[in-house]
């Protein structure tokens, strides 16, 4: 394989990775807790976009449980984004682990 082919392959990999990173940034996934009583919507940057609460889970006498459910839903959403991002990057890199780019 000549230098020209290697350079072309590197450029293609770089373009594919940039496209994958754009797709990851555009992702919006949901995490849930309490059987769907709490839903956290998380974008591809790992930012929480929204929190939805079932009115039945809001109990002024048990705020601690609600806090735990919100935390669990957010963590579930973040993990789903991380998994999806890792899978997307693995398609580009062919499973090669590139520090800073793959899970």
pLDDT in tens, 35-69: 999 999 999 999 999 999 999 999 999 999 999 99
Q: For 52, list phi and psi in degrees, rounded to 5.
A: -120, 130
Decide if 30 contacts 40 (C-beta within 8 A): yes
Give the closest residue to 50 by CA, choosing from 69, 31, 26.
31
CA distance 92 to 67: 38
- Residue 54 to residue 23: CA distance in whole angstroms: 30
- pTM of the full predicted structure? 0.79
Task: List domains and CATH numbers for the chain.
Answer: 3-93 (3.30.1310.10)
* Cβ 25 vs Cβ 57: under 8 Å: no
């Amino acid at each position: 394989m000549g230098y020209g082919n290697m350079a072309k392959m590197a450029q293609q990999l770089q373009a594919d990775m940039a496209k994958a990173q754009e797709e990851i940034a555009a992702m919006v996934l949901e995490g849930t807790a309490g059987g769907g009583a709490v839903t956290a919507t998380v974008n591809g940057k790992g930012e929480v976009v929204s929190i939805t609460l079932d009115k039945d889970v809001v109990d002024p006498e048990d705020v601690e449980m609600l806090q735990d459910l919100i935390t669990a839903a957010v963590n579930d959403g973040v993990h789903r984004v991380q998994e999806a991002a890792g899978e997307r990057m693995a398609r580009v890199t062919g499973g090669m682990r590139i520090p800073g780019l793959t899970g």
